[in-house]
Amino acid sequence: MRIVLMGAPGSGKGTQAQSLVSRYGIPHVSTGDILRREQAQGTPLGLRAKQIMEAGGYVDDATMIAMIRNRLTQADAANGFVLDGFPRTIPQAEALSKLLAEIGAPLDVVLLFEVNTEQLVKRLSGRRVCELCKKVFNVHTSPPTVPPECVAGRTEHQVVQRADDAEETVRARLRKYEEATRKPVSGFYSYTGLIRTVDAEGAIDVVTQRMFDTLAAGSGGAQPEAPAKKRAPQRRATKPKAKAKTRARARKVAPKPAAKRAKKSPSKRRVVARKPKRAVVRKARPKRARRGK
Ligand code: AMP
């Protein structure tokens, strides 16, 4: 299975990706995770990405496309993948289609996770991560557990908020997602017929069930380009057909009423009357010329 997960930050794509990984035995490819690893290793890309990520912006398309090309051509992705966080722009979506066409491995489905914006703000700005055991909590829905289970010898978690989970950054990320990703990229995949929407509000296992129901309900289908090619001629064909019908109808129906109108219409009468006048003038000119000589 080759699956793209689309959804706002905090919509639970990463969590649901784990269920897909278990069921299909395919790798979870998260561009956010790759960038965070680069940051942790202090690579030039990581350092550049850090500032962009903290401001809620997007890393440039060329960098992201090269990253995905490199990752999806690795051996473990040969039988499929769950792509999370990519594509985020139309150039990325187009590059992915091109890459998959090159390797003869079309996408099966794009799952679009939908969650109300205020719910997302609450989920993300309430998120806390324990620096020691890396467990993720939410101050609203799942605060650090009591009795705490942290690393050996510790009775308390050491929770921190990720820089890009600060409320202002969260709102900026959500705006960016809506404008730069959800509208254009979901439009791109709707056109190809690959997209399936999943209501991602509610408990994790409820959403997981909805996701698998959605996958079972629709086969996903073909490579992005294929349905587009099929549809395009149909659309193009309808207009000429309609025009041809209109013209044919006009040809069949028009003569009688047109003839009737010609007799009654004052404008038609004027046209008929002008012709003989012009003919008379043209004949008269040579006569005058001859007299002049
Ligand atoms: P995520 O963990 O998917 O929410 O990604 C965290 C951040 O990484 C995003 O807010 C972006 O700054 C950056 N990022 C991840 N994937 C992409 C992408 N496909 N294009 C551009 N920036 C990305």
Q: What is the pLDDT of residues 41-53, one digit of tens each?
A: 999 999 999 989 8
Of 85-89, 138-142, 169-173, 258-262, the one with minimum mean pLDDT is 258-262
Distance of alpha carbon 234 from alpha carbon 236, whole angstroms: 5
27 CB under 6 A from ligand 1?
no
Q: Are 126 and 141 in contact (CB under 8 A)?
A: yes
Mutate to test the pocket of ligand 1, among 31, 54, 127 (most ligand atoms within 8 A of CB): 31
**What is the sign of the dihedral through the CA atoms of 73, 75, 79 and 85?**
negative
210 CB under 6 A from ligand 1?
no
Q: Is it the case that residue 141 has pLDDT exceeding 90?
A: no
pLDDT digits (tens, 9 = 90+) for 154-206: 878 889 998 888 888 899 889 999 999 999 999 999 988 899 999 999 989 99
Distance, C-alpha 141 to centroid of its chain: 31
Q: Which residues, in sequence order, are bridge partners of residue 110? A: 4, 195
Q: Which of 228, 232, 142, 147 is nearest to 189 (CA)?
A: 228
Q: Which of 122, 96, 117 is nearest to 29 (CA)?
A: 96
**Could you check whether the bond before residue 147 is cis, i.e. omega within 30 degrees of 0?**
yes
Q: How far does residue 159's CA lie from ligand 1's centre (Å)? A: 23
CB atoms within 10 A of CB 67: 18
Residue count of the chain = 293
Distance of alpha carbon 125 from alpha carbon 43, whole angstroms: 28
**What is the sign of the dihedral through the CA atoms of 36, 12, 120 and 124?**
negative
Catalytic one of 173, 176, 182, 210: 173
64 CB under 6 A from ligand 1?
yes
Q: How confident is the model at residue 150 (pLDDT cuts 50, 70, 90)?
A: confident
Q: Is it the case that residue 293 has pLDDT exceeding 60?
A: no
The residue whose C-alpha atom lies closest to atom 9 belonging to ligand 1 is: 53
Q: How confident is the model at residue 151 (pLDDT cuts 50, 70, 90)?
A: confident
**What is the sign of the dihedral through the CA atoms of 28, 33, 34 and 40?**
negative
Cα distances (Å, whole numbers) of residue 153 to 92, 145, 146: 46, 16, 15
Cα distances (Å, whole numbers) of residue 248 to 65, 234, 235, 236, 257: 51, 21, 20, 19, 15
User: Residue 19: what pLDDT?
Assistant: 95
Tokens of 69: 């090309």
More confident residue, 99 or 157: 99
Give DSSP secondary structure letters for 153-200.
T-SS--EE--GGGSHHHHHHHHHHIIIIIIHHHHHHHHHHT-EEEEE-
Three-class secondary structure of residue 224 per DSSP: coil
Q: What's the rounded mean pLDDT across residues 78-104? A: 96
Whether this prediction's pTM lies above 0.85 is answered by: no
Percent of the chain with pLDDT over 70: 73
Give DSSP secondary structure letters for 108-167.
-EEEEEE--HHHHHHHHHTEEEETTT--EEETTTBPSPSS---STT-SS--EE--GGGSH
User: Residue 100: what pLDDT?
Assistant: 96
Three-class secondary structure of residue 7 per DSSP: strand
User: Residue 188: what pLDDT?
Assistant: 94
Give DSSP secondary structure letters for 38-89.
HHHHT-HHHHHHHHHHHTT----HHHHHHHHHHHHTSGGGTT-EEEES---S
pLDDT digits (tens, 9 = 90+) for 201-252: 998 999 999 999 999 987 543 333 333 333 333 333 334 444 444 444 434 4
Q: What's the rounded mean pLDDT across residues 263-291? A: 43
Report the run of H or E that residue 5 belongs to, with start and end: strand 2-7
Q: Is it the case that residue 146 has pLDDT exceeding 80?
A: no
Catalytic one of 2, 71, 88, 122: 88
pLDDT digits (tens, 9 = 90+) for 10-49: 899 999 999 999 999 999 999 999 999 999 999 999 999 9
